[in-house]
Structure formats: structure tokens, C-alpha cells
A and B are shown apart, each in its own frame.
Chain A
Amino acid sequence: MRNKLKVYRAMHDSTQEELAAKLDVTRQTIISVEKGKYDPSLELAFRIAGLFQATIEDIFLYGKRE
């Protein structure tokens, strides 16, 4: 699964640490998600989408990693 988390984070002028604190996860989790090494749970994906006021499909793109 690919994602645009880094793009959305930049759009909202937020750091990885701030995002991690808002989502109640570790900074390493945000780094892993951004790098595409870790696919978040549905709950975390919803929380991320809700935080950026977007839909899950806007941020996460289903498909094999490049």
C-alpha cells in the first residue's frame, strides 16, 4: 500500500513528532508509514484521515509497493 502522508503532513505544516503526538503513536510509526514500510491499522488510517480532514482513499492508495 502506498500513501501520501508526507505530502499531507507538509500541507498542514506539521512535523513527524507533532503528528505522532496527535495520533498517540510513536514517531517511528509515522516514519515507517511514510516510508511505506508499515501499513497502519484501519483505526489508525481513519484517525490520520480525520486529522487531515480527508478520506482514507485520499491518503492511502491500495496497490503493490513500487
Chain B
Amino acid sequence: MSKRKYITFRILLLIVVVFMANIIRAEGGWYWALLPIIFAIAVFLSIRYLSPKKVKEVMIDERTQLIQEKASRIAIQIFVLTSVVIGAILVVISYEGGFAFSQIGLTLTYSAVTLALLVIILRIYYSRKL
């Protein structure tokens, strides 16, 4: 399997799984949404490692890792900043009265803080390791 075919397959699989998960989630309990995810992981692993036509081309090298690192860092910064700002605004608006956005605001803020904490912990861990 060529790299291009593999990437296309991965995108298609992701779309199918999200679609399936949404349908199952709408129909029944949340636990049913785990089924397509387990299915996707099984298909992904079988294609990536067990298939006789497994991907022969190099998928990840030092340049792609560097790109991923940069993209992740910027994504985290954008997510944390926007979540905290939007979350704080929603909480303030709900305290001012009228709108019941405090839950959404707090969820956004806490998720951003959790992510920021996780990044700090992992940075400390890797700075000691490397």
C-alpha cells in the first residue's frame, strides 16, 4: 500500500467512525459509541502492521516530527488562550445575570487549565529525561 493510499484510507476511516459514533450516540447509550472506535483501532492496526500489503514507505521522520511538534505547540497555545478567554467571558456574563452559560464557561476554562498543567508536567518530565 502506498503512503498516499494509506493516508486517504485513514481519513476515510476517521469520517466513517465519527459518523457511526454520532449515529449510535443519538440512538442509544454513550458506551455504544465506543464500538466504532474499537473497530477503527482494530482496522487501523491490521492495515498498518498485519496486512501483507502494509505501508512500506517512511511515514514519520525527523522533519515530520518537527512539524508535528510545532503544530501541536501552536494548537495548544491557541486552544488554551481562546478557551480561557471565552470561558471567563461566559462565566462573567452568567454572573451578571440572565444567561446560564456558567457551566460551559467553567468546562472550557477547566479543560484549558488541565491541558496547560499536563503540558507543564510533561515538560518537567522530559527536561529531566533529555
Query: Which residues of A are in contact with B by a Cβ distance under 8 Å?
Result: 20-21, 24-26, 28-29, 32, 38, 40-41, 44
Contacts and interface: CB of A to CB of B under 8 A. Distances in A.
B67 to A, nearest CB: 10
A20 B58 contact: yes
Contacts, number: 26
Interface residues of B, number: 8
Contacts of B57: 26
19 contacts: A20-B58, A21-B58, A24-B61, A25-B58, A25-B62, A25-B63, A26-B57, A26-B58, A26-B61, A26-B63, A26-B64, A28-B63, A28-B64, A29-B62, A29-B63, A29-B64, A32-B63, A41-B62, A44-B62
Interface of B: 57-59, 61-64, 66
B54 to A, nearest CB: 16
A20 B61 CA distance: 10
Contacts of A40: 62
